[in-house]
Amino acid sequence: MKSKIFLAVILLVTISSCTKTSKHDFLYLNAVQLKPLGIELNDKGVFYKNENPNWKSDHEKYACLAFYCVNDNYVSTIHFDATDTLNAKNCADSIIAGNDLTKNDFYPLLIGNTKGIQSLDNKNISADMKLLPIAICMEETRLSNRKDTVVVWLKPTESLKKLLPEGIQMDDYLQTKMQVKK
């Protein structure tokens, strides 16, 4: 019981230590809440690998997207086909290659920071398309060089809505692509 309380306190401190811009700018989720969405946090970084079953009807060039955020790399993205073999060039690539491929119909269209600067920037997004911005506190990974917050903008779908933690209303967080803040 004491360990559960201790973990809850640590989780609260970690989440509150992230720089939040306002209550509903982004949906802040922790490692446990991100896992059902296919986003894995561990002591090596943040990792994601997904095959979109609707990639053709969504007019995507590739069926699969993987990304990772590690100590020495802000974010790396890999677009690939389901039949491709991922070659590991470094430790993070090895982790991605070994991760299971999720098959969610929701996926990142943008990945960036809390100021609107995008590392993955999908130019095909219409200006009025609403997305779900999920904030990931890199401090939770315990990486020594990462205390920032990464925002992953997911395409909202009914299956995503069902996987969100209880009590979270997806519609409260949906917004159009964020403009760069000066």
pLDDT score for 84: 92
pLDDT score for 10: 45
Q: For residue 22, what are the CA distances in angstroms to 67, 114, 164?
A: 26, 11, 20
Q: Can you tell me the distance from the alpha carbon of 38 to that of 150, in angstroms, rounded to the nearest whole number?
A: 15
Residue 13 reports pLDDT greater than 50: no
What does the pLDDT look like over 87-138, one tens digit per residue? 889 999 999 999 999 999 999 999 999 988 888 888 778 889 999 999 999 9
Burial (CB count <10 Å: 0-12, 13-18, 19+), residue 148? middle
Q: Can you tell me the distance from the alpha carbon of 54 to that of 105, in angstroms, rounded to the nearest whole number?
A: 6
Structure tokens at 94: 């090895």
pLDDT score for 15: 47
